């Protein structure tokens, strides 16, 4: 029945600032702008597959949301942190070691790094790693190197 997520929408305080961020920093393709409704729509990845809508609202009407951008896992591992740094975007992981590196969700398995947009929405770059879903890993979050060691021990 359900095959994926087609669209998601966010409220933003300043539409032009958010258009700039999503177009010029994250390189999403804007395909619609409606001045009268103070809205902009973007394709995420391939045209016609996934959509992000931005709607301008007063700050007090904005509730923060989270969503993840699917990326190639190698890019997340090797380039995502440098990309975020080059745009002066703060980022974090859940490793609890103050490291500046992506983390691995061992159960998926997927590698990810978190950051925020100009309004404070929680965004994520995530890439599915080679391997199979392992529900027995629960919510285990490890470094990439630790994940490689786990994989090695289990194969």
**Model pLDDT for residues 51-110, shown as the tens digit of each residue:** 999 999 999 999 999 999 999 999 999 999 999 999 999 999 999 998 999 999 999 999
**Which long-range contacts (C-beta less than 8 Å, at least 24 apart) are formed by 110-115?**
110/73, 111/73, 111/76, 111/77, 111/144, 111/147, 112/68, 112/76, 113/76, 113/80, 113/81, 113/84, 115/84, 115/89, 115/90, 115/91
Assign residue 27 the CATH number of its domain: 3.10.180.10
pLDDT tens-digit map of 14-49: 999 999 999 999 999 999 999 999 999 999 999 999
Confidence band for 2, pLDDT divided at 50, 70 and 90: low
* Nearest Cα residue to 93 out of 22, 140, 146, 143: 143
Burial of 98 per CB tally in 10 Å (0-12, 13-18, 19+): exposed
Same domain (yes/no): 70, 126 = yes
- 98 in the same domain as 78: yes
134 has pLDDT over 90? no
Q: Is the pLDDT of residue 135 over 70?
A: yes
Supply the CATH number for residue 98's domain: 3.30.720.110
Q: Exposed e or buried b for every residue in 69-93, given b needs 16+ CB within 10 A?
A: bebebeebbeebbebbeeeebebeb
Identify the domain containing residue 91 by its residue range.
64-155
Please identify, among 63, 85, 112, the residue that sits at the C-terminal boundary of a domain.
63
Q: What is the pTM of this model?
A: 0.92
Q: Across the chain, what does the average pLDDT equal? A: 94
d(CA 41, CA 8): 10
Number of domains in the chain: 2
- Give the model's pLDDT for residue 3: 78
Query: In terms of Cα–Cα distance, which of 89, 98, 95 is closest to 120?
Result: 89
* Final residue before a domain boundary, out of 48, 63, 78: 63
pLDDT at residue number 122: 96
55: which strand partners? 11, 39
Are 35 and 100 in a shared domain? Answer: no
Residues 22 and 42 in one domain: yes
Q: Which residue among 42, 63, 84 closes a domain?
A: 63
């Amino acid at each position: 029945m359900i095959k994926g997520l087609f669209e998601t929408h966010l409220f933003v305080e300043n539409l032009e600032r958010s258009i700039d961020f999503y177009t010029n920093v994250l390189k999403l393709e804007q395909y619609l702008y409606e001045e009268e409704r103070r809205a902009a729509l973007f394709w995420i990845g391939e045209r016609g597959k996934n959509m992000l809508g931005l709607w301008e609202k007063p700050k007090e009407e904005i509730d923060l949301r989270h969503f993840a951008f699917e990326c190639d896992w190698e890019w997340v591992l090797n380039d995502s942190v440098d990309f975020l740094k080059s745009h002066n975007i703060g980022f974090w992981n859940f490793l609890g070691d103050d490291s500046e590196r992506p983390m691995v969700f061992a159960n998926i398995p997927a590698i990810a790094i978190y950051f925020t947009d100009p309004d404070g929405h929680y965004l994520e770059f995530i890439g599915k790693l080679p391997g199979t879903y392992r529900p027995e890993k629960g919510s285990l979050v490890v470094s990439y190197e630790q994940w490689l060691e786990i994989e090695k021990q289990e194969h």
